[in-house]
Amino acid sequence: MRFGSAAQKEKYVPEITSGRFAAASYGLSEPHCGSDAAALRTSARRDGNGWILNGSKQWITSGDHAGVIIVWARTETVAGHPSKGISCFLVEGGANGLHVGKHEDKMGLRASTTVPLAFEELRVPGSAMLGGDGQGFSIAMAALDGGRVGIAAQSVGIGTAALNAAVRYAKDRQTFGQPIANYQAIRFMLADAATELEAARLLTLRAAGLKEAGQRFTREASMAKVFASEKANKACDIGVQIHGGYGYIDEFPAERHYRDARVTTIYEGTSEVQRIVIAREVLKE
Ligand SMILES: Cc1cc2nc3c(=O)[nH]c(=O)nc-3n(C[C@H](O)[C@H](O)[C@H](O)COP(=O)(O)OP(=O)(O)OC[C@H]3O[C@@H](n4cnc5c(N)ncnc54)[C@H](O)[C@@H]3O)c2cc1C
């Protein structure tokens, strides 16, 4: 919506928003680089009016059933400036030369598919370029700002599910003749998780509000993402602890929450990368 031409928007947005495309994917990471995205090696070379793509991507969410995949590729090598010369292309699912690898056997989020992709002499027309030639890196970073608000929200959701399950269990489970919810050790864990998740929710809403208002929100998105994902992981850890042995088996949802939350400090930029972004923004002030 933000960088597409009128024709691209008309062609793809209704397919994605109507659900006629089961998914759309974001293809930036490669086997050798995630945080250091500017080191990407997928190449695009001119071929008449179009481009020929070669290379591979790693960890592409829904890449096996996406109707369209945004693929970042190098159109030019600019010595000493790896983030320059990168462009974005809209590659359709099922395109000739697109090879989808096997589903990764993930720790969590097992209902979501994650696949490697390979491009072998994959031809796209000139009209498949999203944004201008060489604009790819700034498009990737802009998309990540928004994505980070999404992962913050996902974290708040998983953390809250874990907290709710822990509250239910604490009221039900009896030890030494009373519900474990009566013990201060348990109550303090619940109090910390509830407080931290509420703060995470507010940081997330703040970042989302700035985005909606069309203001800069890079700093706020990273703050929301790092805080919410780390506090969600803590809430899930507490959730398993409060369930005792039952937290470690799949009869209760606590272990699934714990596994699902784990990736939130990793994807759409690790916690370390969020701190790099926040520090850069803070030092600008
Ligand atoms: C389930 C899942 C789904 C994903 N979906 C997608 C997707 O749809 N599209 C896509 O493009 N990518 C996707 N990713 C990739 C994801 O964004 C990357 O895994 C993530 O950005 C981290 O990159 P990396 O794995 O290469 O780790 P690396 O960059 O190799 O980092 C390894 C470790 O080093 C640390 N590190 C790296 N650089 C620094 C530094 N400068 N200072 C301090 N610490 C540093 C990192 O924080 C991390 O702890 C997905 C990943 C997963 C696991």
- Expressed in angstroms and rounded, the spacing between residue 55 Cα and the centre of ligand 1 is 18
pLDDT, mean of residues 193-203:
98
Q: What angle do CA 246, 250, 256 make, to 5 degrees?
A: 105
In ligand 1, the atom with minimum distance to the C-alpha of 63 is: 8
Give the global pTM: 0.96
Is the Cβ atom of 23 under 6 angstroms away from ligand 1?
Answer: no
d(CA 226, CA 269): 9
Cβ-proximal residues to 64 (8 Å cutoff; 6+ apart), any chain = 100, 103, 113, 115
pLDDT, mean of residues 106-118:
97
Model confidence at 161: pLDDT above 90:
yes
Model confidence at 61: pLDDT above 90:
yes
Model confidence at 285: pLDDT above 90:
no
- Expressed in angstroms and rounded, the spacing between residue 156 Cα and the centre of ligand 1 is 21
Mean of the per-residue pLDDT values for the chain? Answer: 97
d(CA 64, CA 54): 18
**In percent, how much of the chain has pLDDT > 70?**
100
Question: What's the half-sphere exposure (Cβ side, CA atoms, 13 Å) at 85?
Answer: 16
pLDDT, mean of residues 145-159:
97
Cβ-proximal residues to 257 (8 Å cutoff; 6+ apart), any chain = 158, 159, 161, 162, 165, 236, 239
pLDDT digits (tens, 9 = 90+) for 84-94: 999 999 999 99
